Amino acid sequence: MSASATALLYIALFLATVIICKITLTNNYIIRVRDKVYSLTENSLYQFICITLSCMPLIYLLANRVNVGRDYERYELYYSTYVSWGAKNGLGIGLTFIYHIADKFGWGFEGFLWVSAIITTILAITLLKNLIPLQLMPIAVFFYLCIYWGPMNNIMGQAMAVSVLLGAFYMMTKRRLIPFIILVVIASFFHVSSFLLIPLYWIYAAFQKKHSKGVIIGILLGGLFLAAAPNLIKVLLNFIGLSKYNGYFSNRLNPTWIYLLIYRSPMYALEIFYFLRERQRNHDEIESGNQLVNLGIFMGVCEIASFIIGLSITWGGRFGYFFSIGHLFFAIGSIMEAKDKKEWLTLRSMYCAYFLFSFLMMAFYSRMDAINIYSRM
């Protein structure tokens, strides 16, 4: 299968998933039991079944991918090492557990692929449903696939961590500290850097109150400082005995994060414009009642800072993937604020075109993780 055919396959797959979500989740199905009327669509079990059915084609393709990137090959090597030597290669608890299940039941590395596919589709979309109005779930799923299909194929540990973090972000917006910390810790089982997100709870609280400008400036200045001082961080890592992570530093600009900064720039521009507009309207403070818009702007700033850090520290850029979901939140939030049907349709069309174009450019022009020739099929 050629690259162009693979691109068409992805697009058809995304659209099929969206259509199934649209049919099953947004129509108000009613059932009658002993003269009582129940809304089937509002039933959590029904919603989970619908999400599971809509994700099956995605899971099948993800489970049949092969050699999509260096991280994929590394996970395959980790599995072989686990089978031969056990959990002695520094694997996280989550990966070790999945490897153990796959080995115990004789599934092999393909078993790991199936489990990771289920987590990054069914679990992720189920948790995403807590943050998104049901009527907008189909388009939210489309945005999610355009943003994370690449990581879901290659950097599977971090993609699984993102799936769990969707629940943590929901708890963060609800100001529920203990569940937030528990979910962040669970995410760290799949990607240890997730643990560094715990302070986000208090930073976001400050952003929401009366310090939004200061928080944004502080995050961006912190990103610039870390990008400009990699040698200082190397010294610190050596001092605390973590010199093995020095390989995450680069002496030249990493094009991956330059590409991402360019591809994300339209969303950054929209988010900054909205932020400045709201500050002007509300006496220099962002006070939008739309939780999704606020969350999206905040996470967009965090992503910019992470990608700036990634210019000299590879790990910093990878950290930005945790915040990429913020563009989905902003897009959905701004659609919710549309004043009339014409604006609603314009925003939906604009965001769909942007996310699809961005995905295709990253996958098939920049070759960032997502491309795969399905030779097994």
In a domain, 300, yes or no: yes
Residue 284 has a pLDDT of 46
The per-residue pLDDT for range 200-238, each reduced to its tens digit, is: 999 888 887 766 777 787 877 777 766 666 666 666 666
CB-CB contact of 201 with 177 (8 Å) = yes
Q: Which residue has the tokens 């194929």?
A: 153
In a domain, 95, yes or no: no
Model pTM score: 0.88
When divided into structural domains, the chain yields a total of 1
Residue 211 has a pLDDT of 64
In a domain, 377, yes or no: no
What does the block give as tokens for 100? 């153990």
One digit per residue, the tens of pLDDT, for the chain of length 377 reads 566 777 788 888 899 999 999 998 888 777 777 777 777 778 888 889 999 999 999 998 888 877 676 778 888 888 888 877 766 556 678 888 898 899 888 888 899 999 999 999 999 999 999 999 989 999 999 999 999 988 888 888 899 999 999 999 999 999 999 999 999 999 999 988 888 899 999 988 888 776 677 778 787 777 776 666 666 666 666 666 655 555 555 555 667 788 888 889 999 999 888 887 776 665 444 444 578 888 999 999 999 988 888 877 777 778 889 999 999 999 999 999 888 889 999 999 999 999 999 888 887 776 665 555 444 44
In a domain, 239, yes or no: yes
Domain range for residue 307?
A: 199-337
In a domain, 315, yes or no: yes
Q: Which amino acid is at 200?
A: L
Q: Which residue has the tokens 């014409």?
A: 342
In a domain, 192, yes or no: no
In a domain, 211, yes or no: yes
CA nearest neighbour of 155 among 346, 351, 319: 319
Write the CB contacts of 346 (distance below 8 Å, at least 6 apart in sequence): none
In a domain, 42, yes or no: no
Residue 366 has a pLDDT of 66
**Other C-beta atoms within 10 Å of 249: how many?**
16
CA distances, 141 to each of 56, 129, 160, 240 (Å): 14, 9, 16, 42
